[in-house]
């Protein structure tokens, strides 16, 4: 290191996971750089973005003969990332067993990772919208007694809070009011509001912009989600980082937004599995929001009509047997705005219906009556495509994917067979590929088939204006094009659709004003799943779907008929449907938590998965078995309180010609599990490089997994 570069900067980089490089690399610089500074540094033959990190060794002498490569440039004009942000990244990396640099760089906008200092300087010179206090007063909607009680509790208590409000109870208005009061009380304060899916951000953004832009300026509200272009994401990130943006709306990635003035975090639909990242660092944005709020002194508000059982348990009130209760404060809003009634649940016993019937006669009659009155209906089936599989009657051939242990789904619209796991697509054969028989049939049903059959069944049904009934479908296949989802939702809101068919995309968060009937046609599959969380997810989905009906109390009063939720099931007396009929989440949660406690399942225990991907199933399981044996041989810390289960194949064990196996770890102590995982990481790394495990492609750790 030359005399002209007397300083050493420790830099976090996104280095390859298999490289064995440590969390921080040292570079030479000619001046001390504060932690959090963004820099361009050489790495191999490339120049990459890095973040100067905290270290006690900012200066010092290198061993004789050692040299350091110099930092390539500093991204001037972007303030250093503050200590709370760096602590959040460090905690995430540590807890979810990932490299520090991987988490830090993934949390930054992609374009920031690609821009050189001079390019960024030009970008920063462009005029940007600013959040100015225009002084216009906000016209507040009068709160109900329940909303006012919740708002007052949030103001006067530290939290975290669980806002348990039925669908249509006005949770969003509580969020808006809390954000407003916080922004008005502190001119530097910022709020983070998260939703589980991209398709829910436009309508939320519309409400926040219309409420706050007149008061705080056009740039006060920005969005952050993966559906935005890279320049859009960079613009939003810079606005939040500089404090110009007062409110950030986003999906799970927004939990890492740099918000130096953060004072409030809202996690809407907190139960939703979409808050759990399923690639790379498998973090839970909801759980990180709780941690970040505590660390940064920000209040955290979780909201849901069907809270996750973890959050419900964490918000339990004190009792004589449990005097401390949970860590969260539970706020209850059971009533719908405008005295609207919750949907009446009607169960249809499909054992009493004709075999192979898709729509029972009573449900079809109910939909017909709604169309004739000008009302809208929604039909839910959580499986896209036309049919899950094609089948040859003569030889038994099925449309299996050649690269995965799964079927290729039949899509009738474009006459393709498509694997929803690896994406492999082929044209539908005219004859059986095995025996040549032309007698090939679709087995099972998807939303595409449902849309087609409903359109045929309703072809003679007329709307009040004399036109034929109109059926539309919203799922991942119909919303691929940019702007397609917004256009389709606009048609529903405008009353141009009489029956909406779709997957769970349409069941969450949408404020449809004229839907008076919701039907779930094939929900039974989740009742007998091997995943212990399946009943919880099904109940939440059906409750959320039921909440789409009857949201406009004035409209329902004018129609004079109750809103309804129809469930077609072969198990009408199942406890899930019994609780749904009564809209009794509390009873459902109590029963589920009792079962979980008896079985020592989360939230009464803590879990992690280690997954191995390999060329053969034997190689995948062999790696996991060897790593387990090494853990026992080393008597790793925490192991005495951790149960290691044998490795097993995943349910879909082969995807894209890669075999997948996993093993589960469980412990009554979160701390013991974390100690064990931290100590096990080097052993997993060493085992991975053992010549005996040449077939191994990759391995990963999933802490607090949602699917097993």
For residues 35 and 89, the answer to whether their CB atoms sit within 8 Å is no
CA distance 41 to 141: 52
Rounded CA separation 523/570 (Å): 9
Pick from 567, 574, 671: nearest CA to 343: 567
419 is in an annotated binding site: yes
* Residue 262 phi, psi (nearest 5): -60, 125
How many C-beta atoms surround the C-beta of residue 23 within 10 A?
A: 17
On whether 422 is known to bind a ligand per the annotation, the reply is yes
Name residue 224's beta-bridge partners. 250
Spatial distance between the Cα atoms of 688 and 666, rounded to a whole number of angstroms: 23
Coil, helix or strand at residue 419: coil
Rounded Cα distance, 44 and 39, in Å:
16
In 3D space, the residue among 673, 699, 607 whose CA is nearest the CA of residue 94 turns out to be 673
- Given a contact cutoff of 8 angstroms between Cβ atoms, the answer to whether 627 and 601 are in contact is no
How many other CB atoms sit within 10 Å of the CB of residue 424? 15
Is residue 563 a known part of a binding site? no
Element (H, E) at 587: helix 585-598
What's the rounded Cα separation, in Å, for the pair 294 and 108? Answer: 22
**29 annotated as belonging to a binding site for a ligand:** no
Return the ∠ at Cα 283 (arms to 636 and 546), rounded to 5°.
130
d(CA 583, CA 587): 9
End-to-end Cα separation, the chain, in angstroms: 51
How many CB atoms within 10 Å of residue 37?
Answer: 22
Cα separation, 250 vs 193, whole angstroms? 7
Confirm if 251 and 166 have CB atoms less than 8 A apart.
no
DSSP category for residue 19: S
Return binding residues: 392, 395, 401, 404, 419, 422, 432, 435
Return binding residues for Zn(2+): 392, 395, 401, 404, 419, 422, 432, 435
């Amino acid at each position: 290191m030359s005399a002209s570069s007397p300083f050493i900067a420790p830099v976090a980089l996104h280095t390859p996971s298999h490289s064995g490089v440590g969390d921080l690399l040292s570079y030479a610089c000619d001046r001390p750089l504060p932690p959090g500074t963004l820099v361009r540094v050489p790495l191999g033959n490339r120049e990459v973005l890095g973040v100067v990190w905290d270290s006690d060794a900012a200066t010092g002498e290198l061993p004789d003969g050692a040299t350091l490569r110099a930092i390539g440039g500093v991204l001037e004009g972007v303030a250093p990332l503050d200590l709370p942000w760096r602590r959040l990244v460090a905690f995430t990396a540590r807890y979810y067993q990932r490299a520090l640099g991987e988490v830090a760089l993934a949390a930054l906008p992609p374009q920031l990772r690609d821009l050189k200092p001079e390019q960024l300087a030009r970008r920063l010179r462009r005029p940007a919208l600013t959040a100015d206090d225009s002084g216009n007063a906000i016209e507040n909607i009068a709160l109900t007694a329940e909303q006012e009680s919740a708002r007052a509790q949030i103001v006067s208590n530290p939290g975290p809070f669980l806002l348990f409000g039925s669908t249509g109870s006005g949770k969003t208005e509580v969020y808006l009011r809390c954000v407003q009061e916080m922004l008005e009380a502190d001119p530097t304060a910022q709020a983070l509001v998260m939703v589980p899916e991209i398709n829910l951000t436009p309508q939320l953004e519309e409400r926040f912009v219309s409420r706050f832009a007149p008061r705080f300026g056009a740039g006060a509200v920005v969005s952050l989600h993966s559906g935005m272009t890279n320049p859009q994401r960079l613009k939003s990130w810079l606005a939040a980082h500089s404090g110009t943006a007062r409110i950030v709306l986003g999906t799970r990635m927004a939990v890492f937004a740099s918000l130096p003035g953060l004072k409030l975090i809202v996690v809407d639909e907190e139960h939703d599995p979409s808050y759990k990242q399923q690639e790379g660092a498998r973090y839970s944005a909801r759980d990180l929001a709780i941690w970040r709020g505590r660390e940064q002194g920000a209040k955290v508000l979780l909201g849901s009509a069907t809270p996750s059982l973890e959050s419900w348990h964490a918000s339990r009130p004190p009792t004589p047997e449990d005097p401390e209760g949970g860590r969260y404060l539970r706020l209850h809003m059971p009533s719908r705005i405008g005295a609207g009634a919750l949907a009446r649940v009607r169960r249809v016993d499909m054992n009493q219906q004709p075999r192979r019937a898709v729509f029972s006669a009573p449900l079809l009659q109910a939909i017909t009556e709604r169309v004739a009155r000008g009302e809208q209906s929604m039909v839910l089936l959580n499986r896209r495509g036309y049919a899950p599989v094609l089948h040859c009657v003569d030889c038994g051939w099925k449309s299996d994917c050649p690269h995965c242990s799964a079927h290729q789904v039949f899509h009738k619209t474009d006459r393709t067979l498509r694997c929803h796991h690896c994406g492999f697509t082929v044209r539908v054969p005219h004859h059986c590929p095995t025996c040549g028989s032309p007698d090939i049939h679709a087995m099972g049903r998807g939303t595409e088939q449902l849309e087609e059959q409903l359109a045929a069944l309703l072809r003679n049904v007329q709307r009040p204006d004399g036109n034929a009934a109109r059926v539309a479908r919203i799922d991942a296949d119909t919303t691929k094009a940019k702007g397609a989802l917004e256009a389709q939702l606009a048609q529903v809101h405008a009353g141009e659709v009489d029956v909406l068919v779709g997957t769970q995309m349409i069941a969450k968060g949408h404020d449809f004003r004229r839907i008076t009937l919701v039907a779930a046609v094939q929900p039974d599959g989740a009742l007998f799943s091997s995943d212990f969380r399946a009943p919880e997810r099904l109940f939440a989905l059906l409750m959320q779907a039921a909440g789409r009906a009857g949201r406009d109390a004035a409209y329902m009063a004018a129609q004079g008929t109750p809103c309804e939720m129809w469930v077609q099931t072969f198990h009408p007396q199942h406890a899930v449907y019994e609780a749904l009929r009564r809209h009794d989440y509390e009873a459902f949660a109590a029963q589920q938590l009792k079962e979980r406690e008896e079985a020592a399942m989360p939230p009464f225990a803590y879990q992690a998965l280690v997954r191995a991907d390999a060329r053969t199933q034997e190689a995948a399981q062999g790696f996991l078995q060897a790593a387990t044996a090494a853990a026992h041989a080393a008597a790793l810390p925490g192991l005495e309180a951790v149960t290691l289960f044998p490795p097993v194949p995943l349910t879909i064990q082969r995807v894209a010609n890669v075999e997948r196996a996993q093993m589960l770890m469980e412990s009554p102590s979160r701390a013991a599990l974390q100690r064990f995982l931290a100590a096990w990481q080097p052993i997993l790394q060493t085992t991975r490089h053992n010549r005996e495990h040449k077939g191994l492609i990759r391995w990963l750790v999933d802490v607090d997994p949602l699917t097993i």
